[in-house]
Structure 1
């Protein structure tokens, strides 16, 4: 029985641990917090998972909250004009439903399941020195803790990382009491509101520790009018700032948020980080090698909502690679090949995300505007959140975009 150590109990680390466990591997999982501490702690993310990523969970029988979480059937795009009126407003329908489950709910539940199924759970923050000691007892060590000292073992890949600084200031609030969008009250959608030159607001239905809720997520251009959350410790002040910015920049979203209240004292989050792709192999002082997972090696800005989706896809890709490798050694060549196999999926996410962080070129604005009158264009854009590789066909190149719009308009 091969012994594997996974450090970090997020979407990717837990999904991979439970997947390996179900295949008969002896898995040790290290987490710096207990399940109860996670469940009662601060929100960690703004996850919205689309069909392919959700299917990876179903394949492992880990879709425990599927019947409770709101079904998200569409992705809407609104663009604010100079007078805060909507100049673009439409919603595309998803081919397969999406869902959001607060990671406090999911990670705590999965961690308890891992332990109940006989996995060795170690509650301990891991430093590089700890891994140096532990690594000798395992066939493979995987690092899926995307923050802290361990990430420094993985060298930044400048060829795949165009940004050296954070491109957005992030501010999250989980709320109860948000009303429906009056234009489409009959189904739930993720709403992407773009304020040119200022930033973006995303609104998504979710399942949290207290039931159905909505996430209000501002992405502000650093130094701009949305970049006001740094140092705000009081959750009520955070919500007040969130709603005040809604009223100023997105009055149509503010109109349904006047009765919004935080889900709990841990329902806010703020921060920023530079989107970074790293080399996948980390070297320990004693000569051992570790393989980076998900956010450790590919950390994109959350503007395209791909973090938990990418984590699920990375875990599924690594699981296949480990199982296929049999009893051969997990050497450096295998580690690099395993990452490159995942990168074939991740590169499309990184390209699209980095494109969305830049001011949109004219042909993209034309595409977004045309989607309001051409439902197939709106639907295709919405489904790109599930499969970002599709954007290669029409999104980046002006000539391809023009040809695609002409084809749809003439159909």
Structure 2
């Protein structure tokens, strides 16, 4: 029986560990926290998983919370514009919702990762609570056939060099702030179904609302992405959760008053329901070399870390775990050498490159043809639906999003009339 060590108990590490376990591999999983510590700790992320990623979980019989989590059936976009007639100074220049082909869902990682860790142990996996260092991996690499690193922070990540050709940004592009809340009202435009709402405030940042399941039940995630140095880059040093929520609402009232109108009675879900930070989007080389000469393979956001602007973190992690699982099983009893590691990552990159290109494009100010497409989506439901489903399959953006001629040709085909710049 082949022995594999998985370092890190997030979406990718746990999904991969549980998947390998189902194929009969002897798996050891290193986590720096126990399940109980995860459940009682601070929120770790925003997340909304779309159909493809959710199906990877279903294939492994890991969709434990599907009946409890809100069913997200749409994805809406609003674009704010200065409006002197509005009390806040902003109103919606664009507002629409696209319908998803398959439902999306969000489960607080405190619930999911704790539950999956317990399942892994119950199924006979060796769960070790230990914050691994490079020196640990140097020792472990001699005991295991393969070491997979899925812990995306700290000294372990430093083993994987930055891929400058695939990493256009050298600094964080957004300041991030998160609050999980109860008491948010429905969007009046679609009170009969849940949707993720993306609110774009050009020059300021983006504000997202995501229905979720958290430790205290059904909730919503309020998520600001602020342009560094701008008015939404305001959460550094805000340590009190109540102050964090108050500032979140203040910024909503100023820049997205239509969202603030349904948030006037919200309260935090629990004492650990807020989070703030920033990080640089980076693609890294997939193979890490240990001091003793051993090799380790990076997984998910260890090697492809995108800004959460497009909500792809958990989706990409799930897709990476599924791709790596297939590559490992197909490799049989052969050595997991450097050539195999690079080929395994390259196979995953064929999908991940589309996510990275799209996310990096969305971090830049939207070009005129994208604004035309957003405007057209308010009149043409197929355009709204196609953009919404791109969150599940970002490769589709290659055909209508990046190039003005392709965008205009698509809009003309859907709308039955010519589309021109203006």
After TM superposition, the score normalised by the length of structure 1 is: 1.00
Paired with 2:255 and 2:316, the residues of 1 have a C-alpha distance of: 31
1:369 and 2:371 matched: no
Partner residue, 2:345: 339
Paired with 1:228 and 1:126, the residues of 2 have a C-alpha distance of 33
**Matched ranges for 1:170-181 at <5 A:** 170-181=176-187
Instruction: Report whether the alignment pairs 1:75 with 2:81.
Output: no
CA deviations over 1:93-132 (Å, ceiling 9, x no partner): 0000000000000000000000001100000000000110
- Residue 334 of structure 1, CA deviation: 0.1
2:323 and 2:105 mapped to 1: Cα distance? 21
Partner of 2:43: 43
Whole-angstrom CA distance in 1 between matches of 2:130 and 2:233 = 34
User: Residue 63 of structure 1 corresponds to which residue in structure 2?
Assistant: 63
**Aligned twin of 1:384:** 390
Verify: 1:285 aligned to 2:291, yes or no. Answer: yes
User: Secondary structure of 2:54's partner?
Assistant: helix
CA-to-partner distance for each residue in 1:351-405, whole Å, 9 max, x for gaps?
0000000000000000000000000000000000000000000100000000000
Q: Select which of 120, 130, 140 maps to 2:136.
A: 130
2:157 to 151, 158, 162: 151
Unmatched tracts of structure 1, length 5 or more: none
After superposition, what is the alpha-carbon deviation per residue over 1:134-178, rounded to whole angstroms, capped at 9, x for unaligned?
110000000000011100000000000000000000000000000
Give 3-state SS (helix, strand or coil) of 2:178's partner: strand
Shift of 1:410: 1.2
SS of alignment partner, residue 214 of structure 1: strand
| Offset at residue 91 of structure 1 (A) | 0.1
SS at match of 1:137: coil
- 1:394 equivalent to 2:400? Answer yes
Q: Measure, in 1, the Cα distance between the counterparts of 2:245 and 2:140.
A: 43
Task: Decide which of 142, 148, 162 is 1:142's aligned counterpart.
Answer: 148
For 2:259 and 2:152, locate their aligned partners in 1 and report how far apart those are by CA, in whole Å.
32
Structure 2: which 5+ runs fail to align? 84-89, 418-422
Taking the aligned partners of 1:137 and 1:232, their CA distance within structure 2 comes to 45
- Identify the residue that residue 244 of structure 1 maps to in structure 2: 250
> CA separation in 1, counterparts of 2:401 and 2:96?
18
SS at 1:122 equivalent: strand
Among residues 303, 306, 309, which one is paired with 2:312 in the alignment?
306
State the match for 1:34 in structure 2.
34
What CA distance in whole angstroms lies between the structure 1 residues aligned with 2:406 and 2:200? 24
Provide TM-score, normalisation by structure 2.
0.97
Report SS of the residue matched to 1:368.
Answer: helix
- Residue 198 of structure 2 corresponds to residue 188 of structure 1: no
Q: CA deviation digits over 1:26-80, x for unaligned, max 9?
A: 0000000000000110001101000000000000000000000000000000011
Give, in whole Å, the separation in 2 of the partners of 1:144 and 1:342.
Answer: 14
Counterpart in 2 of 1:255?
261
Corresponding residue for residue 165 of structure 1: 171
- Aligned equivalent of 1:99, options 98, 105, 111: 105
Q: RMSD across aligned C-alpha pairs, in angstroms?
A: 0.6
SS at match of 1:149: coil
TM-aligned CA deviation for residue 200 of structure 1 = 0.2
In structure 2, C-alpha distance between the alignment counterparts of 1:266 and 1:335, rounded to whole Å: 38
The residue that corresponds to 2:86 in the other structure is none
- Alpha-carbon offset, residue 189 of structure 1: 0.1
Q: Distance in 1 between matches of 2:159 and 2:69?
A: 37
Matches of 1:292 and 1:358, distance apart in 2:
28
Aligned length: 411
